[in-house]
Chains A and B, each alone.
Chain A
Amino acid sequence: MQQQAQKTKQISLKGSTAIVTDFFKFATNTILYQRGVYPADDFHLVKKYGQTVMLTEDAALVNYLDKILKQVNEWLLKGNVTQLVLVLLSKDTRTPLERWVFDVDLVRSADDKVLPDEAKPEAEIQKEIRHIIKQIVASVTFLPLVYEPMVFNILVYTKDSAEIPEKEWLDTDPMAIEAGMSQQVKLRSFSTDYHRIGAMVDYRYEG
């Protein structure tokens, strides 16, 4: 009976991937809203993770993010993603201003039959995610004010073995911020039974 109850709580790799993808979606939206990449008008409030989160209504953006996240989801399932980076660039000069880095660690592979002693409860995961989202929201307090218009770009760090759809995904440079000008702040992390997601923001600071 005990075993049964535990098993029902277990999430599969698929479920874990869904949680991670979902998190990326909301984290991305939150960042785009908080950092003013898109006008605040375009966002509406939704309840998620036990709090309200801004989600874009811009159909083009929704479509764009969906396309990316769908592919990321596929890669996640195969354990090919090592890092996801949301880069905010200056629209005019294309210099990277902020990099929101999400490390993805596969803690346990799908065919690992050994179940962990205790499955992580969903509420716990949600709590951790909520903390990250809150930290993202709170990060506007220390991030430098950006007055120029920004655009964003999503970089996916994959393993060499990853299957990459031809012509849809291109190799790119990491759009790193020069070492001397960057400040990094580590945010919280969250983990499921399969994944461990670390978050960090790296921003240009010339002060």
Chain B
Amino acid sequence: MSSTTRKNVSKVPKTPTRGRKDQRQPLTPSLSNALSQLQLSNNDGHRSTSPSMQTTLGGNDADASINPFLETSVPLGQSLKTTAIFGTSSRAPGSRPGSRPGSRAGSRPGSRTGSRPGSPNKRSKSVSGAKNTVNLYGMETKLDVIDLSEWPSNKKEKDASSKDPTPRKRAKSQTSARPRSTADEYGDRYFMERNPHANVLSMTPPQSGSQGSSPAHMSRLASAANVDPNGRILTFHQPPPASTADPMLAAQRTHVAPLYANERAGTSASGSGTSGSSTNAAKARRLPTQPERVLDAPGILDDYYLNLLSWSSRNELAVGLEDNTYVWKASTGAASHLAECPEGKWVTALDWSADGSFLAIGLSNGDVELWDPEAEKKLRTMSGHQAQVGSLSWNNHILSSGCQDGSIWHHDVRVARHHQGTLLGHVAEVCGLKWRADGLLLASGGNDNVVNIWDGRTGDADGEQRTAKWTKRNHTAAVKALAWCPWQDSLLATGGGTGDATVHFWNTNTGARTASLTTPAQVTSIQFTPLAKEFMTTHGYPTNSVMVHSYPSLTKIGEIKDAHDSRVLYSSISPQGDVVVTGAGDENVKFWKLWEVPPKKPKHAAKGSTSHVLTLR
């Protein structure tokens, strides 16, 4: 090695001793902080001019002096370099390696100097050459000053100096250009094993281009920050539209938000909890490509606005074929002709009462007939509607009928004056009508693209103008498909017609739309199954399909494409919930076994007990 190195080495013994002495001194918290910060820096622990190298720590008030100092008190040519380097180093941590080094540097050199204690003091000392020029808080320490002249970016220079150490450089070594070799040999004062290169990696090297804060630098900064001094910053004259233009809706939203979040979390939790296996298994489930059974249904009308299939709790399926109504007993497979309507009228809607002992038949002239399938006779005719009754729904003894004129009537089938109430919420044909199982809410969908949810409890008083609890206008086509969720009371699914083809899910307690599902075609009906967290939808042109989706994830579990030769219009679910029957204008009624009825639990229990007994013996 060169003589310089040797000379430096010879001075080494001095340094560690002093270092140890420093460490024995009681450290105040601020001092220890400063120490830890010192350790971060590339301190090689070597001091060639120990007596003059003293600094005070924790000098926050020294920060303010940085910039003035840089600019004013650099009269000595020799110290110019030092100050420049310090100016750079104080900025270094503030700027990021990759992104626009100078963009913020200009305005913040003062803000971080706390982490680089002593540099101003050192500067003042090195400039004036005096010892202890700044002694803050009366706390003078003999700690070494960080010497950042060892920055890797200056390495070339340093290497050059170590290879060719001119006397001038040696004289200056106390300020900036100390040979690198010493640093390599003696490492960090506090981390004796530290590899100086490790430091290099952890610290941001100062950008060699940004020295000082001269006007030239500022202009470079400006260019780096992409601020064109000649450019303009423009904005559109209008402010952007508010996030919710409709204040009512916004209020509703904010009101509903927490409930909505909880409810969502709740359903997903319960969904995965109770039916985890079924939904998980369902992901890869195959749907039958062939129907389990096909019934011939000659003359079944191909009309979207009718509801011509109904499956009772007694396992009887009623089908309306033009002017005739047939009942097919699923248990025996026998079909019987139940009713024929008067000349020139046809069946437009069918619905079984909850116990399956009465069948309501809506007719094209507005009459609603009540039939007893067991006795195969008509019990009564309830007339009054002026146009066809496209939808019917029972709630105990109340039969609600949706008419083409947009009105919904409640008929009390027990009394002579059957017309108990009118709900006016649609301006076009009511094609979907469903009571919730508990009879508290009634959902109706109309050809006016509106979904209304009515409170079933409010008043029996006739003539009172009732308004819907919720009116939803999100659909963009007629709403025929309506379904209440059997496992979650408040959940209603509604599906729109050709122009919409969307299924919306509503929380009928809060009125919030919880989810939406876009489907490839007109939604003609929706059925929830009680057997799984799934529902099926039937579709019209072009897919003519039956689809099964999971809820609440809304993932498609399967699709039976072209389930019928024409659009699938009607559907009903079996009382057990495993089979769905669909009807279409192709004069077929098809039964699809979409779900499996799980084996009965009592059986399991019995098995378990016997096996238990056996093992005991």
The residues of A with any CB-CB pair to B shorter than 8 Å are 37-39, 41, 58, 60-61, 64, 67-68, 71, 82-83, 103, 149, 151-160, 162, 164, 167-174, 179-180, 182, 184-186, 200
Contacts and interface: CB of A to CB of B under 8 A. Distances in A.
A171 B232 contact: yes
Nearest to A38: B243
Instruction: Specify the main secondary structure of chain A where it touches its partner.
Output: mixed
B104 A61 contact: no
Nearest to B241: A60
Contacts of A58: 241, 245
Contacts of A103: 226
Given A157-B231, A171-B233, A184-B96, A64 B104 contact: no
B238 A179 contact: no
Interface in B87-110: 96, 98-100, 103-104, 107-108
Contact of A168 (B99, B237, B239): B237
B45 to A, nearest CB: 33
Interface string B32-74: 0000000000000000000000000000000000000000000
Given A157-B232, A169-B234, A39 B253 contact: yes
B237 A170 contact: yes
Interface string B203-242: 0000000000000000000000011101111111111111
Given A64-B238, A168-B236, 13 more contacts: A39-B253, A41-B253, A58-B241, A67-B236, A82-B231, A157-B226, A157-B234, A158-B233, A169-B234, A169-B236, A171-B233, A174-B227, A186-B99
5 contacts: A151-B242, A157-B232, A157-B233, A159-B228, A172-B234
B30 interface: no
7 smallest beta-carbon distances between A and B, as pairs: A60-B241, A179-B104, A172-B235, A169-B234, A179-B107, A186-B99, A38-B243
B233 A172 contact: yes
Nearest to A178: B107
B235 A83 contact: no
Contact of A41 (B232, B245, B513): B513
A160 B232 contact: yes
Contacts of A39: 243-244, 253
A157 B228 contact: yes
B267 interface: no
A160 B234 contact: no
B91 to A, nearest CB: 12
A61 B241 contact: yes
A158 B253 contact: no
B610 interface: no
B484 to A, nearest CB: 23
A186 B98 contact: yes
Contacts of A37: 243
B232 A162 contact: yes
Contacts of A185: 99
Nearest to A172: B235
B277 interface: no
B111 interface: yes
Contacts of B253: 39, 41
A184 to B, nearest CB: 5
B603 to A, nearest CB: 45
A163 B10 CA distance: 72
B232 A158 contact: yes
A60 B245 contact: yes
Contacts of A200: 99
A122 B99 CA distance: 28
Nearest to A149: B243
A173 B227 CA distance: 12
